Copies of this chain bind each other. A is one copy, B any other.
Amino acid sequence: MPSPVPARPGAEIGQVDTPALIVDLDALEANIADMAAQAGQAGMALRPHAKTHKSVAIAKRQLAAGAVGLCCQKVSEAEALLPSGVADMLVSNHVVGAEKLRRLAALAHDVRTTTLTSDVQHARLLSAAAEAAGSRIDILIELDAGDARMGLADAADLPALAQLVCDLPGLKLRGLQVYNGPFQHLRAQAERADAARMAAERAQRARDVLLANGFPCDLLTGGGTGTFSEDIAAGVLNELQPGSYVFMDSDYGRNTDSTGAPYRPFRQSLFVLTRVMRVPQPGVAYVDAGVKALNLDCGMPDVLARPDLAFTKASDEQGRVEGGALQLDEQLFLVPSHCDPTVNQYDWMVAVRGGYVEEVWPVDARGCVL
Protein backbone atom coordinates (compact mmCIF):
# COMPACT_ATOMS: atom_id res chain seq x y z
CA MET A 1 0.00 0.00 0.00
CA PRO A 2 1.53 3.35 -0.98
CA SER A 3 1.24 6.23 1.49
CA PRO A 4 -1.65 8.73 1.20
CA VAL A 5 -1.63 11.28 -1.66
CA PRO A 6 -0.73 14.80 -0.51
CA ALA A 7 -3.14 16.58 -2.89
CA ARG A 8 -5.80 16.21 -5.58
CA PRO A 9 -5.75 17.81 -9.05
CA GLY A 10 -7.31 21.27 -8.92
CA ALA A 11 -6.19 22.04 -5.36
CA GLU A 12 -4.38 25.27 -4.58
CA ILE A 13 -0.79 24.96 -3.37
CA GLY A 14 -1.92 26.13 0.07
CA GLN A 15 -4.09 23.00 0.36
CA VAL A 16 -1.27 20.55 -0.38
CA ASP A 17 -0.45 18.38 2.62
CA THR A 18 3.19 18.47 3.71
CA PRO A 19 5.90 17.46 3.33
CA ALA A 20 5.31 16.91 -0.39
CA LEU A 21 7.48 16.55 -3.46
CA ILE A 22 6.52 19.33 -5.89
CA VAL A 23 7.33 19.53 -9.61
CA ASP A 24 6.91 22.88 -11.37
CA LEU A 25 5.50 21.79 -14.74
CA ASP A 26 6.54 24.92 -16.66
CA ALA A 27 10.15 24.46 -15.52
CA LEU A 28 10.08 20.69 -16.11
CA GLU A 29 8.74 21.07 -19.66
CA ALA A 30 11.27 23.81 -20.46
CA ASN A 31 14.13 21.61 -19.21
CA ILE A 32 12.97 18.60 -21.26
CA ALA A 33 12.64 20.76 -24.39
CA ASP A 34 15.98 22.54 -23.87
CA MET A 35 18.06 19.40 -23.45
CA ALA A 36 16.34 17.75 -26.43
CA ALA A 37 17.09 20.84 -28.56
CA GLN A 38 20.74 21.02 -27.54
CA ALA A 39 21.36 17.31 -28.18
CA GLY A 40 19.51 17.59 -31.47
CA GLN A 41 21.51 20.61 -32.65
CA ALA A 42 24.70 18.69 -31.85
CA GLY A 43 23.47 15.68 -33.83
CA MET A 44 23.61 13.50 -30.73
CA ALA A 45 21.06 11.03 -29.48
CA LEU A 46 19.55 11.69 -26.05
CA ARG A 47 18.87 8.84 -23.60
CA PRO A 48 17.76 10.49 -20.33
CA HIS A 49 18.66 8.75 -17.09
CA ALA A 50 15.39 7.79 -15.40
CA LYS A 51 16.99 7.03 -12.02
CA THR A 52 16.48 10.75 -11.32
CA HIS A 53 12.69 10.81 -11.65
CA LYS A 54 11.59 7.13 -11.58
CA SER A 55 8.38 8.36 -13.19
CA VAL A 56 6.41 6.97 -16.15
CA ALA A 57 4.78 10.40 -16.66
CA ILE A 58 8.13 12.16 -17.02
CA ALA A 59 9.67 9.39 -19.11
CA LYS A 60 6.73 9.71 -21.54
CA ARG A 61 7.42 13.45 -21.89
CA GLN A 62 11.13 12.79 -22.54
CA LEU A 63 10.34 10.17 -25.19
CA ALA A 64 7.76 12.45 -26.81
CA ALA A 65 10.49 15.13 -27.03
CA GLY A 66 12.66 12.77 -29.06
CA ALA A 67 14.65 10.71 -26.56
CA VAL A 68 15.87 7.48 -28.22
CA GLY A 69 15.39 5.47 -25.05
CA LEU A 70 16.04 5.56 -21.31
CA CYS A 71 18.77 4.67 -18.86
CA CYS A 72 17.91 2.93 -15.61
CA GLN A 73 20.27 1.92 -12.84
CA LYS A 74 18.41 -1.21 -11.68
CA VAL A 75 16.50 -3.99 -13.44
CA SER A 76 13.39 -3.42 -11.30
CA GLU A 77 13.54 0.29 -12.13
CA ALA A 78 13.55 -0.59 -15.82
CA GLU A 79 10.59 -2.95 -15.34
CA ALA A 80 8.61 -0.25 -13.53
CA LEU A 81 9.17 2.23 -16.37
CA LEU A 82 8.08 -0.05 -19.24
CA PRO A 83 4.58 1.56 -19.26
CA SER A 84 6.27 4.71 -20.61
CA GLY A 85 6.39 2.92 -23.97
CA VAL A 86 10.21 2.95 -24.07
CA ALA A 87 11.58 0.69 -26.80
CA ASP A 88 15.32 0.84 -26.04
CA MET A 89 16.36 0.44 -22.40
CA LEU A 90 19.90 0.70 -21.06
CA VAL A 91 20.47 -0.71 -17.57
CA SER A 92 23.61 1.35 -17.03
CA ASN A 93 25.05 -0.75 -14.23
CA HIS A 94 26.68 -4.14 -13.68
CA VAL A 95 23.84 -6.54 -12.91
CA VAL A 96 24.76 -9.30 -10.44
CA GLY A 97 22.84 -11.99 -8.55
CA ALA A 98 21.03 -14.93 -10.14
CA GLU A 99 17.53 -13.50 -9.70
CA LYS A 100 18.35 -10.07 -11.15
CA LEU A 101 20.17 -11.69 -14.08
CA ARG A 102 17.09 -13.84 -14.71
CA ARG A 103 14.86 -10.75 -14.71
CA LEU A 104 17.24 -8.80 -16.95
CA ALA A 105 17.16 -11.62 -19.47
CA ALA A 106 13.35 -11.70 -19.30
CA LEU A 107 13.21 -7.92 -19.81
CA ALA A 108 15.01 -8.45 -23.11
CA HIS A 109 11.88 -10.23 -24.41
CA ASP A 110 9.82 -7.05 -23.81
CA VAL A 111 12.16 -4.30 -24.95
CA ARG A 112 15.58 -3.89 -26.55
CA THR A 113 17.76 -4.35 -23.47
CA THR A 114 21.33 -3.20 -23.17
CA THR A 115 23.60 -3.37 -20.14
CA LEU A 116 27.20 -2.86 -19.06
CA THR A 117 30.12 -5.11 -18.34
CA SER A 118 33.87 -4.74 -18.05
CA ASP A 119 34.73 -8.19 -16.78
CA VAL A 120 35.13 -11.60 -18.44
CA GLN A 121 33.50 -13.58 -15.62
CA HIS A 122 30.58 -11.14 -15.48
CA ALA A 123 30.07 -11.31 -19.25
CA ARG A 124 29.75 -15.11 -18.98
CA LEU A 125 27.05 -14.75 -16.28
CA LEU A 126 25.10 -12.31 -18.48
CA SER A 127 25.26 -14.64 -21.45
CA ALA A 128 24.21 -17.68 -19.44
CA ALA A 129 21.14 -15.81 -18.18
CA ALA A 130 20.16 -14.74 -21.70
CA GLU A 131 20.68 -18.27 -23.01
CA ALA A 132 18.49 -19.71 -20.24
CA ALA A 133 15.74 -17.22 -21.10
CA GLY A 134 16.11 -17.62 -24.85
CA SER A 135 16.72 -13.88 -25.18
CA ARG A 136 19.62 -11.65 -26.22
CA ILE A 137 21.19 -8.90 -24.16
CA ASP A 138 23.03 -6.06 -25.91
CA ILE A 139 26.31 -5.09 -24.30
CA LEU A 140 28.22 -1.89 -23.84
CA ILE A 141 31.72 -2.34 -22.48
CA GLU A 142 32.13 0.21 -19.69
CA LEU A 143 35.37 2.18 -19.80
CA ASP A 144 37.06 3.64 -16.74
CA ALA A 145 36.39 7.37 -17.07
CA GLY A 146 39.19 8.32 -14.73
CA ASP A 147 37.72 7.40 -11.35
CA ALA A 148 38.86 3.74 -11.28
CA ARG A 149 35.31 2.74 -10.52
CA MET A 150 33.35 0.28 -12.62
CA GLY A 151 34.96 0.54 -16.02
CA LEU A 152 37.74 -1.27 -17.85
CA ALA A 153 40.96 0.51 -16.91
CA ASP A 154 43.45 -1.07 -19.31
CA ALA A 155 42.72 -0.62 -23.03
CA ALA A 156 44.94 -3.66 -23.70
CA ASP A 157 42.16 -5.83 -22.22
CA LEU A 158 39.55 -4.47 -24.63
CA PRO A 159 39.98 -6.72 -27.70
CA ALA A 160 39.81 -9.94 -25.67
CA LEU A 161 36.67 -8.81 -23.81
CA ALA A 162 35.06 -7.60 -27.06
CA GLN A 163 35.85 -10.96 -28.67
CA LEU A 164 34.31 -12.82 -25.74
CA VAL A 165 31.12 -10.72 -25.91
CA CYS A 166 30.88 -11.42 -29.65
CA ASP A 167 31.46 -15.15 -29.09
CA LEU A 168 29.04 -15.64 -26.20
CA PRO A 169 25.69 -16.85 -27.53
CA GLY A 170 23.45 -14.67 -25.32
CA LEU A 171 25.21 -11.35 -25.94
CA LYS A 172 25.66 -8.83 -28.77
CA LEU A 173 28.28 -6.08 -28.65
CA ARG A 174 26.72 -2.67 -29.20
CA GLY A 175 29.48 -0.26 -28.18
CA LEU A 176 30.96 1.58 -25.24
CA GLN A 177 29.90 3.60 -22.20
CA VAL A 178 32.11 6.15 -20.46
CA TYR A 179 30.56 7.96 -17.50
CA ASN A 180 32.12 9.64 -14.49
CA GLY A 181 29.77 10.81 -11.73
CA PRO A 182 32.18 13.08 -9.82
CA PHE A 183 33.04 14.95 -13.07
CA GLN A 184 29.48 16.30 -13.13
CA HIS A 185 30.05 18.19 -9.90
CA LEU A 186 33.46 19.75 -10.62
CA ARG A 187 32.69 23.37 -9.82
CA ALA A 188 34.76 25.25 -12.45
CA GLN A 189 33.76 25.06 -16.12
CA ALA A 190 37.43 24.59 -17.15
CA GLU A 191 37.72 21.55 -14.86
CA ARG A 192 34.56 20.02 -16.30
CA ALA A 193 35.82 20.68 -19.84
CA ASP A 194 39.18 19.02 -19.09
CA ALA A 195 37.43 16.05 -17.53
CA ALA A 196 35.01 15.68 -20.45
CA ARG A 197 37.91 15.87 -22.94
CA MET A 198 39.83 13.23 -21.01
CA ALA A 199 36.81 10.91 -20.99
CA ALA A 200 36.21 11.59 -24.69
CA GLU A 201 39.83 10.78 -25.55
CA ARG A 202 39.59 7.47 -23.69
CA ALA A 203 36.35 6.70 -25.52
CA GLN A 204 37.84 7.64 -28.89
CA ARG A 205 40.91 5.44 -28.38
CA ALA A 206 38.74 2.52 -27.27
CA ARG A 207 36.39 2.96 -30.24
CA ASP A 208 39.39 3.02 -32.59
CA VAL A 209 40.68 -0.20 -31.03
CA LEU A 210 37.28 -1.88 -31.52
CA LEU A 211 36.91 -0.73 -35.13
CA ALA A 212 40.55 -1.56 -36.03
CA ASN A 213 39.91 -5.10 -34.80
CA GLY A 214 36.70 -5.49 -36.75
CA PHE A 215 34.31 -5.15 -33.80
CA PRO A 216 31.12 -3.07 -33.96
CA CYS A 217 30.81 0.18 -31.98
CA ASP A 218 27.44 1.65 -32.93
CA LEU A 219 26.82 3.31 -29.59
CA LEU A 220 29.25 5.53 -27.65
CA THR A 221 27.26 6.83 -24.70
CA GLY A 222 27.96 8.83 -21.56
CA GLY A 223 27.96 12.32 -20.12
CA GLY A 224 25.66 13.91 -17.61
CA THR A 225 23.93 17.08 -16.53
CA GLY A 226 27.13 18.70 -15.26
CA THR A 227 29.24 18.10 -18.37
CA PHE A 228 26.71 17.81 -21.21
CA SER A 229 27.86 20.98 -23.03
CA GLU A 230 31.51 19.96 -22.62
CA ASP A 231 30.63 16.44 -23.81
CA ILE A 232 29.02 17.97 -26.90
CA ALA A 233 32.07 20.18 -27.48
CA ALA A 234 34.44 17.21 -27.12
CA GLY A 235 32.63 15.68 -30.09
CA VAL A 236 33.27 11.97 -29.53
CA LEU A 237 30.14 10.53 -27.88
CA ASN A 238 27.17 9.91 -30.14
CA GLU A 239 24.68 9.75 -27.25
CA LEU A 240 24.15 11.71 -24.02
CA GLN A 241 22.58 10.25 -20.87
CA PRO A 242 21.90 13.12 -18.44
CA GLY A 243 19.33 12.66 -15.68
CA SER A 244 19.26 15.56 -13.20
CA TYR A 245 18.54 18.24 -15.84
CA VAL A 246 14.80 17.59 -15.54
CA PHE A 247 14.82 18.74 -11.89
CA MET A 248 18.21 20.25 -10.90
CA ASP A 249 19.23 20.72 -7.25
CA SER A 250 21.24 23.09 -5.06
CA ASP A 251 24.39 21.03 -5.51
CA TYR A 252 24.30 21.44 -9.32
CA GLY A 253 23.47 25.09 -8.62
CA ARG A 254 26.99 25.50 -7.25
CA ASN A 255 28.67 24.70 -10.60
CA THR A 256 30.09 27.81 -12.29
CA ASP A 257 30.52 29.00 -15.88
CA SER A 258 33.72 30.24 -17.54
CA THR A 259 33.43 33.61 -15.77
CA GLY A 260 32.99 32.00 -12.34
CA ALA A 261 29.30 32.95 -12.19
CA PRO A 262 26.71 30.30 -11.24
CA TYR A 263 26.10 28.01 -14.22
CA ARG A 264 22.42 27.15 -14.36
CA PRO A 265 21.51 25.95 -17.84
CA PHE A 266 18.24 24.46 -16.57
CA ARG A 267 15.49 25.68 -14.27
CA GLN A 268 14.89 24.36 -10.78
CA SER A 269 11.68 22.35 -11.17
CA LEU A 270 11.84 20.16 -8.02
CA PHE A 271 10.93 21.31 -4.53
CA VAL A 272 9.95 19.90 -1.18
CA LEU A 273 6.97 21.79 0.21
CA THR A 274 7.01 21.96 3.99
CA ARG A 275 5.05 23.63 6.80
CA VAL A 276 6.07 25.35 10.02
CA MET A 277 5.17 23.18 13.02
CA ARG A 278 6.50 25.37 15.77
CA VAL A 279 8.24 28.72 16.34
CA PRO A 280 9.93 28.19 19.72
CA GLN A 281 11.59 31.62 19.65
CA PRO A 282 11.91 34.53 17.21
CA GLY A 283 14.23 33.59 14.34
CA VAL A 284 13.89 29.82 14.87
CA ALA A 285 11.26 27.55 13.38
CA TYR A 286 10.75 23.80 13.04
CA VAL A 287 9.24 22.50 9.80
CA ASP A 288 7.73 19.11 8.98
CA ALA A 289 10.47 17.96 6.55
CA GLY A 290 13.42 16.08 8.01
CA VAL A 291 15.81 13.29 7.06
CA LYS A 292 12.94 11.11 5.74
CA ALA A 293 11.59 13.88 3.47
CA LEU A 294 14.92 15.08 2.09
CA ASN A 295 18.36 13.64 1.46
CA LEU A 296 21.28 15.36 3.09
CA ASP A 297 24.30 13.59 1.53
CA CYS A 298 25.01 16.76 -0.48
CA GLY A 299 24.20 19.17 2.35
CA MET A 300 21.16 21.01 3.63
CA PRO A 301 18.42 22.23 1.25
CA ASP A 302 18.06 25.89 0.32
CA VAL A 303 14.87 27.82 1.13
CA LEU A 304 13.32 29.21 -2.07
CA ALA A 305 12.83 33.00 -2.30
CA ARG A 306 13.70 33.51 1.37
CA PRO A 307 17.36 34.61 1.51
CA ASP A 308 16.74 35.51 5.16
CA LEU A 309 16.26 31.83 6.06
CA ALA A 310 18.70 28.93 6.39
CA PHE A 311 17.76 25.28 6.86
CA THR A 312 20.37 24.30 9.45
CA LYS A 313 19.57 20.88 10.91
CA ALA A 314 17.26 17.90 10.56
CA SER A 315 16.04 14.99 12.63
CA ASP A 316 13.94 12.15 11.17
CA GLU A 317 10.77 14.18 10.63
CA GLN A 318 11.70 17.73 11.65
CA GLY A 319 13.87 20.43 10.12
CA ARG A 320 15.27 23.53 11.82
CA VAL A 321 15.07 26.83 9.93
CA GLU A 322 16.85 29.91 11.25
CA GLY A 323 16.78 33.55 10.27
CA GLY A 324 13.72 35.65 9.51
CA ALA A 325 10.18 35.61 10.79
CA LEU A 326 7.92 32.58 10.30
CA GLN A 327 4.48 31.66 11.52
CA LEU A 328 2.79 28.44 12.56
CA ASP A 329 1.37 26.60 9.51
CA GLU A 330 3.28 28.78 7.00
CA GLN A 331 4.49 26.91 3.89
CA LEU A 332 8.07 27.02 2.58
CA PHE A 333 9.53 25.61 -0.64
CA LEU A 334 12.85 23.84 -0.14
CA VAL A 335 15.35 23.27 -2.96
CA PRO A 336 16.78 19.76 -2.40
CA SER A 337 20.56 19.44 -2.33
CA HIS A 338 20.50 16.11 -4.24
CA CYS A 339 17.49 15.48 -6.46
CA ASP A 340 17.76 11.72 -7.15
CA PRO A 341 17.69 10.30 -3.59
CA THR A 342 15.21 12.97 -2.47
CA VAL A 343 12.71 11.81 -5.12
CA ASN A 344 13.27 8.22 -3.98
CA GLN A 345 11.88 9.07 -0.52
CA TYR A 346 8.41 9.78 -1.91
CA ASP A 347 5.55 7.67 -3.24
CA TRP A 348 3.96 10.72 -4.92
CA MET A 349 5.03 13.74 -6.96
CA VAL A 350 2.67 16.75 -7.11
CA ALA A 351 2.84 18.45 -10.53
CA VAL A 352 1.86 22.13 -10.22
CA ARG A 353 1.34 25.04 -12.59
CA GLY A 354 0.35 28.60 -11.78
CA GLY A 355 -0.25 27.91 -8.11
CA TYR A 356 -2.56 24.92 -8.67
CA VAL A 357 -2.09 21.16 -8.67
CA GLU A 358 -2.43 19.89 -12.24
CA GLU A 359 -1.61 16.20 -11.73
CA VAL A 360 -0.39 13.85 -9.00
CA TRP A 361 2.06 11.22 -10.27
CA PRO A 362 3.24 8.07 -8.54
CA VAL A 363 7.02 7.71 -8.25
CA ASP A 364 6.62 4.45 -10.15
CA ALA A 365 10.09 3.02 -9.56
CA ARG A 366 10.49 4.24 -5.98
CA GLY A 367 12.39 1.76 -3.87
CA CYS A 368 13.33 -0.35 -6.90
CA VAL A 369 16.77 -1.23 -5.56
CA LEU A 370 16.83 -4.71 -7.12
The reply to whether B4 and A329 form a contact with Cβ atoms under 8 Å apart is no
Q: Besides A94-B278, A149-B286, 20 other CB < 8 A contacts?
A: A3-B365, A4-B103, A4-B370, A18-B370, A19-B370, A20-B370, A51-B316, A51-B317, A73-B317, A94-B286, A96-B328, A97-B288, A119-B328, A122-B328, A148-B280, A149-B280, A150-B286, A153-B280, A291-B297, A346-B367
* Chain B neighbourhood of A369, CB < 8 A: 3, 19-20, 288-289, 292-293, 317, 345-346
A98 at the interface (CB under 8 A from B): yes
A76 to B276, CA, bound (A): 18
The reply to whether B291 and A295 form a contact with Cβ atoms under 8 Å apart is yes
Residue of B whose beta carbon sits closest to that of A75 = B4
The reply to whether B96 and A277 form a contact with Cβ atoms under 8 Å apart is yes
* Chain B neighbourhood of A119, CB < 8 A: 278, 328
Residue of B whose beta carbon sits closest to that of A295 = B291
List 15 A–B pairs whose Cβ atoms lie within 8 Å, in order of A's numbering. Answer: A2-B367, A3-B76, A3-B366, A15-B98, A17-B100, A17-B370, A18-B97, A93-B277, A94-B286, A148-B284, A150-B280, A292-B369, A297-B297, A297-B314, A346-B367
A181 at the interface (CB under 8 A from B): yes
Interface size class of A (residues with CB under 8 A): 35 or more
Show the binding face of A for B, using Cβ within 8 Å.
1-4, 6, 15, 17-20, 51, 73-74, 76, 79-80, 93-94, 96-100, 103, 118-119, 121-122, 125, 144, 148-151, 153, 181, 275-278, 280-281, 284, 286, 288-289, 291-293, 295-297, 314-318, 320, 328-329, 338, 340-341, 344-347, 362, 364-370
A15 to B20, CA, bound (A): 37
The reply to whether B3 and A370 form a contact with Cβ atoms under 8 Å apart is yes
